[in-house]
Amino acid sequence: MGMTMTEKIMARHAGLESVKPGDLIEAEIDLMMGNDITAPISIKRLKDIGLTKLPYPEKFFLVLSHYAPSKDIASAAQIMISRSFAKEQQLQHYYAEGSGIEHVILPEEGWVLPGELIIGADSHSCTYGATGCYSTGIGSTDLAAAMATGRLWMQVPETYKFELTGARPQYIMGKDLILHIIGMLGGDGVLNQTMEYTGDALRTLPMEERLTMANMAIEAGAQNGIFPYDDVTEAYLNGRAKKEYTPVHSDPDAKYAKHFKIDISKIEPLVALPWSPENVRTVSEMSGETVDRVFIGSCTNARLSDLRTVASIIKGHKVACDTLIVPGSKQVYRDAMNEGLFEIFLEAGATISAPTCGACFGGFMGVLGPDEKCLSTSNRNFVGRMGHPTSKSFLANPAVAAATALTGVITHPKDVAGREVVTA
């Protein structure tokens, strides 16, 4: 019996010829990541067992992304733990305040590669599967175990196959595709399993869109979202990959728990209503719903291509509600600024922030107050996710977010296309 991509990666890293769903393995980890919220817990666990020097420091990435730059005294104290540890261990992969979001930085810099096994103490570590690796989120104690040994006990998951066909309509982005799937299967529809993507439609899906889809695998309950190594992957990693890599491909006779065929030509821009990413409606159905704020950012949609999409829609216009735009990394920030995107955003009346996760989880930089409504490009809209428990957040792609920013109500991008440019 053949194996899926995930099974091949896990077998390789366990030193086994083959594995099957349900097997327990001890796997060698290629890359492990912690952030300013999760790493301090891991650091304490290491100190509890008396470990003073990481045996594999080159595999550990520490990114200050959530409360950085510090929003208050408590977050400053938390960050000090990570900063001191980085200095003590002389970490070569330490990203200080202002560097950005780990799930944007690591793919951008070419650290997450095909065929690898990656873990991160953050639930959206599944993002990296877009490059053809197996990557999943873990807890801080498991991260400490991996930091101490370079290995981790894991269970081989079943794989759901999603075959995407058809031409991608205008304004349809990876965000819409994953929202469609989550809406179809539910928030636990792929619980503890892997989502593997195939099909002719992948040819028109750039890496940035794949990263968005892999990022939200956890919103369907999955451990990992994984894409095949193809021309898109190769082009993205060319000149970017930090080391040699060996891709894997699913065997023709690999066994899948379920197989779904999705014609993406029939999908419309979507919006997820409070308080779950599975509560999906078309943008047309929600047209006219008022919002107080638009947030464009997060590890889901804060890459340069996302900001270019936003700029193409709002250029020459004025926003009608508070609009916060947060680049996902220092590199995205620099590139957007050099391309003149910041000038477009500022002229439109938007606010630009330093790279951070803050607004996405109601940490800082855009926290919602009582009863406020926000159209967000983030990945979660749970109760109180972005601030006050009575606030409401709606999830959509960057094009819908840009159109909504111009009107103050949930708006289809086609409805603002061709608008007369605002003149001074």
Query: Domain spans of the chain?
Result: 5-245+255-263, 273-415
At 155, give phi and psi (nearest 5°): -110, 135
Three-state secondary-structure class, residue 315 = coil
Is residue 74 within a helix (H) or strand (E), and if so which, with residue range? helix 73-89
- At residue 423, the pLDDT reads 39
Provide CATH code, domain 273-415: 3.30.499.10
Q: Does the reported pTM lie above 0.85?
A: yes
| Phi-psi domain of 292 (left: phi exceeds 0; alpha: psi -120 through 50; beta: other) | alpha
Please count the CA atoms within 13 angstroms of the CA of 62 that sit on its side-chain side: 31
Cβ(247)–Cβ(229) under 8 Å?
Answer: yes
- At residue 358, the pLDDT reads 85
Tell me the per-residue pLDDT of 364-386, one tens digit each, with 9 for 90 and over.
888 999 999 999 999 999 999 99
The CATH fold assigned to 5-245+255-263 is Aconitase; domain 3 (3.30.499)
In the numeric block, the tokens 């943008």 are attached to: 283
Cβ(114)–Cβ(133) under 8 Å?
Answer: yes
Cβ(194)–Cβ(222) under 8 Å?
Answer: yes
In the annotated binding site, the residues are 299, 357, 360
In the annotated binding site for [4Fe-4S] cluster, the residues are 299, 357, 360
Give the residue ranges of the chain where pLDDT is below 50: 423-424
Average pLDDT of every residue of the chain: 96
Burial (CB count within 10 angstroms: exposed 0-12, middle 13-18, buried 19+), residue 418: exposed
- At residue 424, the pLDDT reads 41
CA dihedral sign, ordered 156, 162, 163, 166? negative
Q: Do domains 5-245+255-263 and 273-415 have the same CATH topology?
A: yes
